[in-house]
Structure 1
Amino acid sequence: MKSLSILLSLLLLTGVAGVAQTKITAVKCGKLIDGKSDTPVENVTVLIEGNKIKEVGKNVRIPNGASVIDLSAATVLPGLIDAHTHILLQGDITTEDYAVQILKESIPYRALRGSLACKTALLNGFTTLRDLGTEGSMYADVDLKKAINNGVIDGPRLFVAGRAINSTGHYLLSNREYAWEWRVPKGLIEITGADEARRAVREEISYGADWVKIYADRSYYQLPDGSFRSLQNFTPDEINALGNETAMHRKKMSAHAVTPDGIIPAIKAGAASVEHGFGIDDECIKLMVEKGIYWCPTIYVNVWVAEGRAAAGSPINKVFSEALPVTFNKAHKAGVKIAFGTDAGGFDWTENQA
């Protein structure tokens, strides 16, 4: 595993935005997994100019002065993409884990830890992350993206979502768990009404968000027939305003949506991707195929948090884990577009994403 990480980190020159544009690097690969062939291709050279792959082949001419990385005894693969991460979060099995980070760690401190998460992701083989919410760290993800792009720190190419959006009273930290005299900090922007929904989207984009992330449902449960339900977070006017405003700015909306109660309204409002979706049903699958919606099921994080949350009194993640193999295979066979996303940050960054 260590040797694989070294090989990946060498090839990941293509994914670090701060690489000098004029530098030419040739990587001699004993075997290359190119993502197209059924088997690894042998004795291939990858020519990298700046931070882009210029040529791949068996007879690539290496220009004079190019740096040569000899991996002729190794297997090389392209940089990976993690479509769902939280670089400003360091694991949150329980609400107490989340509260410690929100209440006891400053945003600068969390940003410093986030920079380490970025480097960790890169060494794990990921050259691109779609980071879906700073969980109380305001727009520190935008700053981390700038730092990577400017060569200040090493990290993957980032597409960020800033603070994320939910309706009032439906996200951590919960007012019910603290003295009512306190105005406890929240992990995202809370809105009430269509006007506030539009304002929140505009704020997100004005600070540099690439995606708009919304939380479409909460309080998940299973019915006796095995189907899953939840409570919707937004009124139709609110969620439609979120989708319309996002589209007006030529951006895409990502929806944390776990059951049909959240998934279907989110898709109809214009969500381009459904996050988690552990409780999808046949109607969701049909709609996702028809509209070309991506599903990012974040399978591992559900397994990782299941035992701890069950011990804390919430067994639903274990139930989701048992149901997911069937729904995943059904969605795949139906033609749903499935993105690979780990929800790293929801589990500790010491865990390997790959």
Structure 2
Amino acid sequence: MWRSVLAFLFVSAPALGSPVLIKAAHLVDGVSDRPRDGVAVVVDGDKIVALGAAADLAAKNPGAKVIDLGNATLLPGMIDAHTHVFLNDDVGPGVYDAILLKQSAPYRAIEAAANARTALMYGFTALRDLETEGAMYADVDVKVAITRGVVPGPRLQVATRAFAPTGMYPLRGYNWELELPIGVQTIDGPEQARKAVREQVGFGADWIKFYADHGVYEGKPDRPVRSVVNFTPVEAAAIVDEAHRLGVKVAAHANGWDGIDSALRAGVDSIEHGQGITDDLATRMVAQNVSWCPSMMAYQYAIKKLGSDPRSWMAQHHKAAVARAFKRGVKIAFGTDAGAFPWSMNPAAEAKLMVDAGMPPMAVIRSVTSVAAALLDPLCKPGAKGCAKSELGEIAPGKHADLIAVSGDPIKDITELERVTWVMKAGVVWKTPAP
């Protein structure tokens, strides 16, 4: 029996053969302002090779295998640019501590692989996973296993361990005589910062992440969110400078105004959470080409689970910050902090929160496709030659064949993204509509 169970868990979906003609009544390409009707896509191997009128492509590809999705809407595979596959709900007294104290890194890697598969079935064909929370470099192993076809899952970019200074990240508050695990790599001073960046990149980090501020926030619904900054300007600048020197982008956890300001001064590439974004900070983010992952879903979940969270007023700031940032042209990349809430909850529900905050449905679709894909692009210095751009997040010839379909119209009802019926990643179909 166990052999059959293992085969079910780890066998790859069969290849379709080439070429494949995919037809659907409607198509949203991830970049345009309007959907298209009556078009089809031709996939050869793991790439999209043609996009055009369905009748024309059928005539030009008479031997192609046909996948007819009927009245469905075809979209690029979704991208969640802020996840934690090594977590599966860390909200509540003692929950995070128990994860680090009672779960081994091998166990957590197995759970991470299962969570990655769940994400793929939801329609997420790529994730940026922003640190293992104490599981060291095991995210690199999960990424390698997915890439080699050992386990199914989305494309992964990983941030390995993340950084915080001494005393500013759990586990904390225990007997000082005990040597306990910590959910990040602790660093102090610019030289330690540079060495740690080199170590993480050397072990396979695609991104460097640091905690620009920590969980002491001040404010009220009518006042800016303020926070305590973790790193000195010299330390933060050293992290970013060394990462960029090695060709790796940097993400900063920053909730309050002070943390966001500090991260922007250091030159980061993305802000995570960002409830304290003001008009001035949004303007600076646009000028510096800094993306933002709001992750509203995680905070809504925490407030609901904890019941009487004294910082629930931050949710009001979060919603207002999204409207403010979108109005000023900040690149809002879809990111949910999945793992902070259980993977049984579909991260695509973040899309409804973004619409409720004032973003048009098509802008949200671009956020979860082409905008998130641009964030995952490699670091390209001005004037650099041969610097590849992402092949994700758009339905166009030359792009990766990462596609999803929903039964309804996501422009009329953004929650359709929570009901993905068909998933293709790299030209391989992983999910089909239920019979």
Report the TM-score, using the length of structure 1 for normalisation: 0.89
- 1:197 matched to which residue of 2? 193
CA deviations 1:172-229 (Å, max 9, x no partner) are 111x1x1111111011100111111111111110010100011000111216961211
Indicate whether 1:283 and 2:280 are aligned.
yes
Residue 26 of structure 1, CA deviation: 2.0
- Paired residues, number: 333
Residue 36 of structure 1, CA deviation: 4.1
Instruction: Tell whether the 8 Å contact from 1:260 to 1:280 is kept in structure 2 after alignment.
Output: yes
- 2:270 matched to which residue of 1? 273
CA deviations 1:9-44 (Å, max 9, x no partner) are xxxxxxxx9996974322121222223454432232
Residue 74 of structure 1, CA deviation: 2.4
Alignment partners' CA distance in 2, 1:132 and 1:328: 21
Q: How does 1:126-141 map to 2 (within 5 A)?
A: 126-141=124-139
- 1:330 matched to which residue of 2? 324
Range moving further from structure 2, 322-331 or 20-29: 20-29
Instruction: Tell whether the 8 Å contact from 2:225 to 2:314 is kept in structure 1 after alignment.
Output: no
Q: Could you tell me which amino acid in structure 1 is paired with residue 134 of structure 2?
A: G
CA deviations 1:104-138 (Å, max 9, x no partner) are 11111111111111111111111111110111111
Alignment partners' CA distance in 2, 1:31 and 1:236: 50
Instruction: Tell whether the 8 Å contact from 1:141 to 1:162 is kept in structure 2 after alignment.
Output: yes
- 1:182 matched to which residue of 2? 178
Range moving further from structure 2, 121-130 or 32-41: 32-41
Q: Relative to 1, partners in 2 of residues 1:299 and 1:73: Cα closer, same or farther, differing over 3 Å?
A: same
Indicate whether 1:104 and 2:102 are aligned.
yes
Range moving further from structure 2, 334-343 or 323-332: 323-332
Alignment partners' CA distance in 2, 1:94 and 1:41: 45
Instruction: Tell whether the 8 Å contact from 2:221 to 2:313 is kept in structure 1 after alignment.
Output: no
Alignment partners' CA distance in 2, 1:128 and 1:224: 35
For 1:151, which of 145, 149, 152 is the aligned residue? 149
- 1:35 matched to which residue of 2? 30
Q: Which aligned runs of 4 or more in structure 1 are off by greater than 6 angstroms?
A: 17-22
Range moving further from structure 2, 132-141 or 48-57: 48-57
Identity %: 45
Alignment partners' CA distance in 1, 2:32 and 2:93: 45
- 1:342 matched to which residue of 2? 336
Q: How does 1:50-129 map to 2 (within 5 A)?
A: 50-58=45-53, 59-61=56-58, 63=61, 66-129=64-127
For 2:41, which of 46, 52, 70 is the aligned residue? 46
Range moving further from structure 2, 91-100 or 196-205: 91-100
Alignment partners' CA distance in 2, 1:247 and 1:339: 20
Residue 298 of structure 1, CA deviation: 0.6
RMSD: 2.1
Q: Could you tell me which amino acid in structure 1 is paired with residue 115 of structure 2?
A: A
Instruction: Tell whether the 8 Å contact from 1:129 to 1:156 is kept in structure 2 after alignment.
Output: yes
Indicate whether 1:229 and 2:245 are aligned.
no
Alignment partners' CA distance in 2, 1:247 and 1:114: 28
**Structure 2, unpaired ranges of 5+:** 1-11, 349-435
Q: Relative to 1, partners in 2 of residues 1:197 and 1:345: Cα closer, same or farther, differing over 3 Å?
A: same
Q: Could you tell me which amino acid in structure 2 is paired with residue 33 of structure 1?
A: V
Instruction: Tell whether the 8 Å contact from 2:220 to 2:313 is kept in structure 1 after alignment.
Output: no
Higher relative contact order (CA 8 A, sep 6+): 2
Range moving further from structure 2, 91-100 or 113-122: 91-100
For 2:244, which of 244, 247, 258 is the aligned residue? 247
Q: Relative to 1, partners in 2 of residues 1:22 and 1:197: Cα closer, same or farther, differing over 3 Å?
A: farther
Alignment partners' CA distance in 2, 1:216 and 1:39: 38
Q: Secondary structure at the match of 2:272?
A: strand
Q: Relative to 1, partners in 2 of residues 1:223 and 1:136: Cα closer, same or farther, differing over 3 Å?
A: same
Alignment partners' CA distance in 2, 1:209 and 1:22: 34
